[in-house]
Structure 1
Amino acid sequence: MARVEVLIVGAGPTGLVLALWLAQQGICARIVDKTAGPGTTSRALAVQARTLELYSQLGLADEVVAAGMRNPGFNLWVGGERKAHLSFARAGAHLTPYSFLLVYPQDQHEALLVRRLEQMGVPVERNTELLDFEDKGDHVTARLRMADGAEERCEATFLAGCDGARSPVRHQLGASFEGGTYEHIFYVADVKISGPAANGEVNISLDQSDFVAILSYSSDGHARLIGTVREDRAGQAEQLTFEDVSQRAIARLRLTIDEVKWFSTYHVHHRVTNRYRQGRVFLLGDAAHIHSPAGGQGMNTGIGDAINLAWKLKAVLRGEAGDSLLDSYEPERIAFAKKLVETTDRVFTFVTAEGSFADFVRMHVAPLFATAVDHIDAVKEFMFRVLSQTMVSYHDSPLSEGTAGHIKGGDRLPWVRVDGSDNYEPLAAIAWQVHVYGQASSDLRAWCEARGMALHEFAWHEAHDQAGLARDAAYLLRPDTYVALAEPGGSAQALNRYFSERGFTKFASVDVDRR
């Protein structure tokens, strides 16, 4: 019987990223997928800034950015007129190294992740289907059907279900998937376009109960369209072609469709499972949550699930922390998923609502609001933070504690660039570390040295204050780069207590110098 530390079911972006982060940390993982090969259509396109920040941990960010296309801004069109423009570069310039929306077709994205995983000695096992599994208490036994039809049993310490919205893993767990389905039929199409909106930016057009979103993914006019199907053809989804889609919003943009390369229709669901963990089995990505494509959040959220779980699995598997650490995965990720579903639900409901009042709001009230927003930098920055997922935090997590300056435990560490370098360079290590902006105490230096924990001191600068950081405070950072403890006094005792109370044996085993 094969034996691995983590069996990953599903080789979409979520499963591939989980395998990559585990392999980077020296964890023996096996990844299987029942399909014969990776997807050949673009599907998810948006890669958000927060994902790119985390990709830097594996040296993936630069390669992904080079392969994709930067969409530098967002335009809202109503009734054929551009009513608002959001410059990502301007709104996010001081927030992240990646102040743009990267558009990178999922098929190419997956191929890059697969190549990197193979370079690390972990191949994706195709035509391999999970038939069932049993949680034995101290391990999981899975039954697999191999490419030749033969069955194999695999024993794993943990099992990760990254197997999509119809997840067999979730079904066997008996976990619910509460939510609903929008009544409209939507389409996605990869097209070659020309016209005013073929400008390399994100464009969304509203026209009564019709809308279309355009995301460019090449400099020669190739783009993704997302929109609604004509009402009179909505009951014939399986026979629909591009000629059946609603054309009003497209026409208002004076957009010319020169070629349709791929077209598909679908119902949009909004659902979240009631549990992300049961014993030694976890749910990630679409197996745990699905929602409308508004804002390009889905794939990025699944990747966030994977990175959140990967370092915790490693800590437990290597005896650095107790099993209770894994209990933090669900509350941290399910809270964000529920909020995301609620937010995208409101957006989708707004752009597709029918009736004269809804049309009035969409065609007259929304443009006035958008025009106002267009002139308020603080609102633009807020919108960028939401879209880029740099606003994601874990304030209510059992792993989050303290406040120093304006930064709380559970926050993403603010990005600060000073004199050509930034405070994100040390975050390439998938490891606990401490940051001090100013000067660390001798006790804190001794504590970090005794535990082999990196301590990074940054000479105090006005930019740190502007970012909300406190001078001489200690910021304990988790391996996924979120702030675990914000300690205003820079106390070594506070860090020691943090680890002791949460069962981290690796970092609470040496006496602290209490001079």
Structure 2
Amino acid sequence: MQESTAVLIVGAGPTGLMAACQLARLGIKFRIIDKNKEPTTQSRALAIHAASMEIFSQMGISDEFIALGKQTKAINYLVKGKVTEHIPLSAFGKGLTAFPFLLMLEQSRTERLLVNFLEKQGYEVEWETELIAFTQDTNAVYVTVKHNERNEETIKASWLIGADGAKSIVRRILNIPFGGETYPINLFVLDCKVNWQLQDDEIYIAFSNYSFAGFFPMPENRCRIIGFVPKDIGEKENISFEDIKKGFAERMQMKVELSDPKWISMYHSHHRYVSQFRTGRCFLAGDAAHIHSPVGAQGMNTGLQDANNIAWKLALVIRNQAKENLLATYQQERLPFARQLVKTTDNAFGITVSKNPFIKIMRMYVAPKILALILKVNFITRYIFKNISQIGMNYPDSLLSKNASYGSFVSKAPKPGERLPYLAFKDASGKTFGMQQKVNGLTLHLFIFSGSDNKINVHLLSNIAQRFKEAITIEYISLISGNEILYKSLGIKRTGCYLIRPDFHIAYRSIGFNEKHFENYLNAILSNCRIQTQP
């Protein structure tokens, strides 16, 4: 029997679940399958960055994540048990996001929260359902799946998202190369309790003459530890807690005691990414498209951003509100980011775990001093926070960022392709809102800066409003007391506009309002739609 759906999502890890959640919010019919029996019960990916928290806030579930997780507001550089540098994340991220911290929450709980969100939208993951094969033509993808206790089924899907992990069968069937290497370093991952004299809500990157370890706080007074496997373990694949605990304090040259293990595993770090994110009607996302070292805890967060990026674009195309060329921007935007991420994390990881004597000396005695100087420079610390948290992610070369600016802006004004800054404004009633609060992820959002006269833009929009509807929500922001800083920050002298994508990135901007220029931009990506004016 052949069933039809708009989108088939293969894989119900964080990436696949995020794609499903977004499509559910956008009213798109889909199915999501996974060969496993249930969500993972292992902690796995732990850190949730600000960019991901902003998506959860958009979905209305950020408070649930915060309630279950542990906020980490600082990172420490530790040498032979002594803190040589303290990096206050909350201070560096202040004013950049509503979430100036790193949230620690086990992947098992992240997946459960997303599954719960899906269920509230009336959807369920089809567990124990495995993709066997698929073909595609210009109209659809024809997928054969096998249910655990039933016969095989053929699903006809307009589009397919492969979010089925590093060993992706979708990627294999599409025959997309997954270039890169596996690091020749044996690491362990351990979740346990740690007894020491240090703060239990901060990260510690620790070095000694003999070893390396990263300590990451977890809820319930537990800790995630990543470090070198002891030499005497050899090539042993299945290690035990006792293997790591024995001599750990001596290897790290610090007073520390490990107890009450919950999960331990060997960690094989890779750095790989695909040559393309799309073939025909099939897309790759998350670990199916890129894997890299644990430096910066970028893996799961990058997958969540992949899913959010493709979901709103698919929704517009499926609803015939956008032209299909919009889908080309998924690869244009996410592939360069994945390539750069693999490169930067690879370099950082190489320095962190290097056993070269010279690099070890530099890492332990010179790096802390250099780091201390760097952290005194405000714009550098803000740059570091933006990049680690992924709120600094930009798409300047995307089709959506081309011919997307009208008028002469000051150089500091945010540009098309950049993320909407964390800025506040007052409405006519005097109530204060964050601009990001208004971007609900369901439509593009057009902020009209009307100066002191709202009526000035009504006539200019009238002709466009006859064609572009439903895909865009309009928000008027007057030049009243309290909004002057907002106008200045965005480079608006008196009137103008900013069009914001559902994923918080700037699509278009203008000083003043040139109707023809704006219409030409919309014509390049949108179909005949309707505009909704938000009260």
TM normalised by structure 1 equals: 0.93
Q: Contact (CA 8 Å) 2:8, 2:160: kept in 1 or not?
A: yes
Is the CA contact 1:209–1:359 (under 8 Å) kept in the aligned structure 2? no
Who is 1:302 aligned against?
A: 303
Change (3 A) 1:14 1:375: same
Residue 273 to residue 202, structure 1, CA distance change in 2 (3 Å): same
In structure 2, C-alpha distance between the alignment counterparts of 1:448 and 1:203, rounded to whole Å = 54
Among 433, 438, 441, which residue is 1:426 paired with?
Answer: 438
Whole-angstrom distance in 2 between the partners of 1:275 and 1:294 = 24
Q: Deviations over 1:138-164 (max 9, x none)?
A: 011101111215211111101110000
1:470 paired to 2:492: yes
Counterpart residue identity of residue 233, structure 1: I
Q: Residues of 2 paired with 1:295 and 1:336: CA distance?
A: 15
1:281-320 matched pairs, under 5 angstroms: 281-320=282-321
Aligned-partner Cα distance in 1 for 2:207–2:488 = 38
- Give the % identical residues: 33
SS of alignment partner, residue 238 of structure 2: helix
Aligned AA (1:432): L
Q: After alignment, is 295-304 or 239-248 more displaced?
A: 239-248
Partner in structure 2 of residue 355 of structure 1: 356
Asked whether the equivalents of residues 210 and 251 of structure 2 are also in contact (C-alpha less than 8 Å), the reply is no
Task: Report if aligned partners of 1:209, 1:352 keep a CA contact under 8 Å in 2.
Answer: no
What residue is the counterpart of 2:86 in the other structure? Answer: 85
For residue 31 of structure 1, what is the aligned residue in structure 2?
Answer: 32
Distance 1:312 1:372, change over 3 A: same
**Is 1:454 aligned to 2:454, yes or no?**
no
Is the 8 Å Cα contact of residues 58 and 437 (structure 2) preserved in structure 1?
no
Pair 466,300 (structure 1): closer, same or farther in 2 beyond 3 Å: farther
Task: Give the letter for the 1:458 counterpart.
Answer: I
Helix, strand or coil at the partner of 2:123: coil
Task: Give how far 1:260 is off.
Answer: 1.6
2:221: which partner in 1?
Answer: 221
Deviation at 1:392, TM superposition (A): 0.4
Shift of 1:362: 0.7
Aligned CA RMSD, in angstroms, stands at 2.1
Following superposition of structure 1 onto structure 2, how do residues 239-318 of structure 1 map, counting pairs within 5 Å?
239-244=239-244, 247=248, 251-318=252-319
Q: Is structure 2 residue 41 aligned with structure 1 residue 40?
A: yes
**Could you tell me whether the CA contact under 8 Å between 1:43 and 1:105 is conserved in 2?**
yes
Report the alpha carbon displacement of residue 316 of structure 1 after superposing the two structures with TM: 1.1
Q: Which of 506, 527, 531 is the equivalent residue of 1:483?
A: 506
Does structure 2 conserve the Cα–Cα contact (< 8 Å) formed by 1:197 and 1:203? no
Deviation readout 1:169-215 (Å, 9 max, x if unpaired): 00000000001111001111111112133430111112246321111
User: Displacement, 1:248?
Assistant: 5.9
Using a 3 Å threshold, how does the CA distance of structure 1 residues 173 and 64 change in structure 2: closer, same or farther? same
Counterpart of 1:506, as a letter, is: N
The equivalent of 2:10 in structure 1 is 9
Deviation of residue 346 (structure 1)? 0.9
In structure 1, the residue matched to 2:429 is none
Q: Does structure 2 conserve the Cα–Cα contact (< 8 Å) formed by 1:83 and 1:370?
A: no
1:16/1:469 CA distance change after superposition, 3 Å: farther
Structure 2 counterpart of 1:138: 139
Deviations along 1:221-242, one digit per CA (max 9) or x if unpaired, are: 2111111112342422234545
Partner of 2:187: 186
Q: Quote how far apart the aligned CAs of 1:328 are.
A: 1.0
Instruction: Look up the match of 1:512.
Output: none
Contact 2:249 2:257 (8 Å CA) reproduced:
no
Query: Is residue 2:238 matched to residue 1:238?
Result: yes
Counterparts of 1:319-330 in structure 2, within 5 Å, are: 319-330=320-331
CA distance in 2, matches of 1:53, 1:273: 27
Amino acid aligned to 1:188: V
Structure-2 residue corresponding to 1:341: 342
For 1:116, the equivalent position in structure 2 comes to 117
Pick closer, same or farther for the CA change 1:380–1:18 going to 2, 3 Å: same
What SS is found at the alignment partner of 2:67?
Answer: helix
Instruction: Report the secondary structure of 2:194's partner residue.
Output: strand
**Structure 1 position 412 matched with structure 2 position 419:** yes
Say if 2:378 is the partner of 1:369: no
Cα pair 2:212 2:252 within 8 Å, conserved: no
> Which whole-Å CA distance do the structure 2 matches of 1:86 and 1:336 have between them?
26
Structure 1, unpaired ranges of 5+: 510-515
| TM-aligned CA deviation for residue 16 of structure 1 | 0.5
Change (3 A) 1:493 1:255: farther
Name the count of aligned residue pairs. 507
Distance 1:81 1:239, change over 3 A: closer
Q: Does the 8 Å CA contact 2:176/2:276 hold for their aligned counterparts?
A: yes
SS in 2 for 1:125: coil
For residue 124 of structure 1, report the CA deviation from its aligned partner: 0.5
Give per-residue Cα distances to partners, 1:429-452, cap 9 Å, x unaligned.
420111134526424443565444
User: 8 Å contact 1:473–1:490 — kept in the other structure?
Assistant: yes
The CA deviation string for residues 359-400 of structure 1, in whole angstroms up to 9 with x for no partner, is 111112211112212322222211111111010011110111
CA distance in 2: counterparts of 1:118 and 1:189, whole angstroms: 32
Could you say if the C-alpha distance between residues 364 and 16 of structure 1 is closer, same or farther in structure 2, counting changes exceeding 3 Å?
same
Preserved contact between residue 474 and residue 491 of structure 1 (Cα < 8 Å): no
Q: Specify the SS of the correspondent of 2:42.
A: coil
Query: What CA deviation, in whole Å up to 9, does each residue of 1:448-479 have, x standing for no partner?
Result: 65444322233443432664543433111112
Other structure's SS at 2:184 match? strand
- Which amino acid in structure 2 is aligned with residue 463 of structure 1? I
Contact 1:211 1:249 in 2 (8 A): no
Q: Please, which runs of 5 or more residues in structure 2 have no aligned partner?
A: 427-431
Question: Within 2, Cα distance between the matches of 1:433 and 1:444?
Answer: 17
Structure 1 contact 14–303 (Cα < 8 Å) conserved: yes
> Following the alignment from structure 1 to structure 2, what is the Cα–Cα distance between the partners of residues 255 and 221?
15
